[in-house]
Amino acid sequence: MPLYIKSVEKLINEFRKLPSIGPKSARRIVYYLLKQTPEQVNNFARSLIEMKEKVRFCRLCRNISEGDICHICGDTSRDHKKVCVVEDVGDVVLIEKTGRYRGVYHVLRGLLSPIEDIGPEELGIPLLMERVRKEKVDEVIIALNPTVEGESTAMFIKKMLSPLGVRTTMLASGLPVGGDLEYADEITIGRAITDRREI
């Protein structure tokens, strides 16, 4: 005999596919939904579908957008001569939250990977180059994770941009605020020494 009725089991399995949701949490969510009014569940389902129907990717920067162009690219008060390259949509939000950046973005939505067969086309790198050329961008800030994969992708972008004569910078990588030198790894300490600045 099956443990759950079919429709419940089907929904549990759908939730289990979501990131960081295990079987226990999936069951908990489904029980919660069972207790809700039909209207509440309807709202939930409708927002899922609406999100998928409405969200597109900006044709200039590949960020999520409801129109052809996202709200950042469409904002004329921003500095369109600075482009910040990030790995994912979520990174845009992180940088926006700092309130320190007024330029535009290019969202790769992944990193270069021979193992996963992800090349420059898949990350819109030709699109970035076209933007730099057309808009006469004066600085590209590469804000990728300081991992082997992130750095290799950064190196490739830098190499592709160098004939265009645009200034290319990378986020400083060093010791975390509140961190202790003793607990930092060798690579981080090495990097912090190389990227040291005048005080």
Partner 1 sequence: MPTYKARAIILKNYKLGEADRIVKMYSDEGHLISAVAKGCRKTRSRFRGRLELFCLVDLELSEGRNLDIIGQAEILNCFSDIPMDFYRFVFAEIISNVILRTQQSGDKNPSLFKLLYVCLNEIDKTEPEDVIGLKKILCFFEARFLQVTGLAPMLETCSRCNKSTADLYRLGNEKIGFSIDYGGVLCRECSPATGARVELNPSSYRLLVDLFRLKIEDLRSIEIDPYSLRKVCRLMEDYMVFHTYCTVNSFKYLKKIGI
Strand order across the beta sheet in which 79-86 lies = 103-107, 79-86, 139-142, 167-170
The residue among 15 and 156 lying less far from partner 1, judged by its C-beta, is 156
The residue among 61 and 170 lying less far from partner 1, judged by its C-beta, is 170
Separation of alpha carbons 157 and 142, rounded Å: 9
Of 68-76, 114-122, 164-172, 190-198, which part binds Zn ion (CB under 5 A)?
68-76
The residue among 60 and 84 lying less far from Zn ion, judged by its C-beta, is 60
Query: Cβ atoms within 10 A of the Cβ of 106, count?
Result: 27
The residue among 61 and 108 lying less far from Zn ion, judged by its C-beta, is 61
Instruction: Give the phi and the psi of residue 191 in degrees, each rounded to 5.
Output: -65, -40
In three-state secondary structure terms, 15 is helix
Closest-CA residue to 111 (of 70, 69, 142):
142
Cβ atoms of residues 173 and 185 within 8 Å: no
Residue 190 burial (10 A CB sphere; 0-12, 13-18, 19+):
exposed
Residue 94 partner contact from Zn ion, partner 1, none using kind-dependent CB cut-offs of 5 to 8 Å: none
Among 12, 26, 30, 63, binds Zn ion (CB under 5 A): 63
Using CB under 5 A as the binding rule, whether residue 58 contacts Zn ion is answered as yes
Q: Min. distance of Cβ 113 from Zn ion in angstroms?
A: 24
Residue ranges that bind partner 1, judged by CB under 8 A:
19-20, 112-115, 117, 119-121, 147-149, 151-153, 155-156, 159, 176, 178-179, 183-188, 190
Separation of alpha carbons 157 and 63, rounded Å: 18
Q: Min. distance of Cβ 168 from partner 1 in angstroms?
A: 14
The residue among 73 and 170 lying less far from partner 1, judged by its C-beta, is 170
Residue 63 partner contact from partner 1, Zn ion, none using kind-dependent CB cut-offs of 5 to 8 Å: Zn ion
Residue 183 partner contact from Zn ion, partner 1, none using kind-dependent CB cut-offs of 5 to 8 Å: partner 1
Q: Which residues pair with 85 in a beta bridge?
A: 106, 142
Which residues contact Zn ion by CB under 5 A? 58, 60-61, 63, 70, 73
